Amino acid sequence: MEPTPPLTLDPRPAAPQPVESALRRSMGPRHLVMIAMGGVIGSGLFVSSGYTISQAGPLGAVIAYLVGAFVVYLVMACLGELAIAYPVSGAFHIYAARSIGPATGFATAWLYWLCWAVAIGSEFTASGLLMQRWFPDVEVWVWCLVFAAILFGFNAVSSRFFGEAEFWFAIVKVAAIIGLIVLGGAALFGFHPLNSGGNHPLLLQNFATESGLFPNGFTGILVTVLAVFYAFSGSELIGVAAGETKDPATAIPKAMRTTVIRLLIFFVGAITVIAATIPYTEVGLDESPFVTVFSAIGVPFAADIMNFVIITALLSAGNSGLYSCARMLYSLADEGHAPRALKKLNRRGIPMVALSVSMVGGLASLLSSVVAPETVYLVLVSVAGFAVVGVWMSITASHYFHRRAFVRDGGGVSTLAYRAPLFPLVPILAFSLCVISLVGIALDPAQAAALYFGIPFVAACYAYFHFRHGRSAARAGR
């Protein structure tokens, strides 16, 4: 393995890195924050949070999301240091390739592509399911095609147009979450003028279930951790967009701090209100918990309003996912580990071939929407959760080996523009918690498919790289 380059890379356009020679640096901190928020706030919160509450119980769900937010903080701390060291587009596999080895970088890239290709499918499927409230006679797969065309158009214009679209999409989602926390929280304190005749629980009354605080025991929390991690997937998109960001050394740390704080408030706050408002036995995947809460509060046309907001949120997450998929394929092609056609850019600097291939992967949602939308949706969520946990493990391991190599080669930690705290505790703890989450899903038959598919997929990536690129990579390392 080659020694890690020093962390004095100049991210300004005046001295571009080879992989960045064509992509344009047109996004600022607010775009980064909203891209990350847009990628995170999707079906994982608006739809599958109901599954988490039903399995873990009210208090267990809150604990699971607190654990998820903590792991996100750990991963983002590692990511911040790496993203400034290597401000390149589709950066995750670059981190792993340079810090661990090219085979791990290759596997990480395809694993992250899988994560978002599957996630795009789940967002389309969930959106189609919600559209049936208004158009019950229109098949889900029809909406999948309509939404796919819309998102493809957003990504095909320019990276700045994508960033602006994501900024405004995210504002709609954040407003819905704030509304849930404020109105739902007021109702829990006894203030519900819109529906005074209803039977409203007070404060955390619903947390004391007939089966105790943890109705399904500790196992109920453990088996939902992967779904929670999936709900938080997208926070790492800041690293993917680093190569198209102005002044990464300043913008990336600022965006990461803001993202972690907002995710903690929005996710944990929303889950607490939902779990305290709806009995855990009455939530699931058949209706968004947000719709149920607003209907219980008595907000006029709550179901229709929230249905629209949630569909917007899902498409926003899919928008971020499609962006990520395209940049990852572009980066793979730039490294020589994918067909060169994927590196081709149009006049606006958009990798159109990579974008088109990624959209084909996302249209796997058509299969799920035809076979069994609700059942297959959970499988899609589980596979995407496995993939993002694998990428998080790669990020934390890359940071661990990168920092060690940096110090070994004479680098001074005090000179870093940003450094993760408490090294090596942070990367080791994050890696360990990710492993525990993968062990937990083996206990849930509904999610175990993620292991059956994910582990062979990773093994196949390593095997393919060994036979296709192994010798050339070995020669390059000498």
The CA-CA-CA angle for residues 389, 395, 401, to 5°, reads 135
What is the C-alpha to C-alpha distance for residues 249 and 418, in angstroms, rounded to an integer?
8
Domain CATH code at residue 280: 1.20.1740.10
Quick one: which of 113, 74, 118, 71 has its CA closest to 92? 113
Q: Is residue 375 part of a domain?
A: yes
Q: Is residue 4 part of a domain?
A: no
- Does position 79 have pLDDT exceeding 50, yes or no? yes
Q: Is residue 185 part of a domain?
A: yes
Q: 3-class secondary structure for the chain?
A: CCCCCCCCCCCCCCCCCHHHCCCCCCECHHHHHHHHHHHHCCHHHHCCHHHHHHHHHHHHHHHHHHHHHHHHHHHHHHHHHHHHHCCCCCCHHHHHHHHCCHHHHHHHHHHHHHHHHHHHHHHHHHHHHHHCCCCCCCCHHHHHHHHHHHHHHHHHHCHHHHHHHHHHHHHHHHHHHHHHHHHHHHHHCCCCHHHCCCCCCCCCHHHCECCECCCCHHHHHHCCHHHHHHHHCCCCHHHHHHHHECCHHHHHHHHHHHHHHHHHHHHHHHHHHHHHHCCHHHCCCCCCHHHHHHHHHCCCCHHHHHHHHHHHHHHHHHHHHHHHHHHHHHHHHHCCCCCHHHHCCCCCCCCHHHHHHHHHHHCCHHHHHHHCHHHHHHHHHHHHHHHHHHHHHHHHHHHHHHHHHHHHCCCCHHHCCCCCCCCCHHHHHHHHHHHHHHHHHCCCCCCCHHHHHHHHHHHHHHHHHHHHHHHHHHHHHC
The arithmetic mean of pLDDT across residues 75-81, rounded, is 86
What does pTM read for this prediction? 0.76
Q: What pLDDT is attached to residue 428?
A: 95
**For residue range 90-101, what is the model confidence (pLDDT) as tens digits?**
567 788 888 898
Structural domain count of the chain: 1
- Does position 8 have pLDDT exceeding 50, yes or no? no
**For residue range 398-448, what is the model confidence (pLDDT) as tens digits?**
999 999 988 898 888 888 878 888 889 999 999 998 888 888 777 777 677
Q: Is residue 43 part of a domain?
A: yes
Q: Is residue 44 part of a domain?
A: yes
Q: Is residue 478 part of a domain?
A: no
Look at 370 and 290; give whichever has higher pLDDT.
290
Q: Is residue 476 part of a domain?
A: no
> Is the separation of the CB atoms in 385 and 230 below 8 Å?
yes
**For residue range 10-33, what is the model confidence (pLDDT) as tens digits?**
333 333 333 334 444 445 555 566
The two tokens of residue 329 are 């394929």
Range of the structural domain that residue 130 is part of: 25-468
**For residue range 332-366, what is the model confidence (pLDDT) as tens digits?**
888 777 888 888 887 777 888 888 888 876 676 56
Question: 259: Cβ–Cβ under 8 A, 6 or more apart, which residues?
Answer: 33, 36, 37, 40, 76, 235, 238
Q: Is residue 55 part of a domain?
A: yes
The two tokens of residue 302 are 């709550």
Percent of the chain with pLDDT over 90: 5
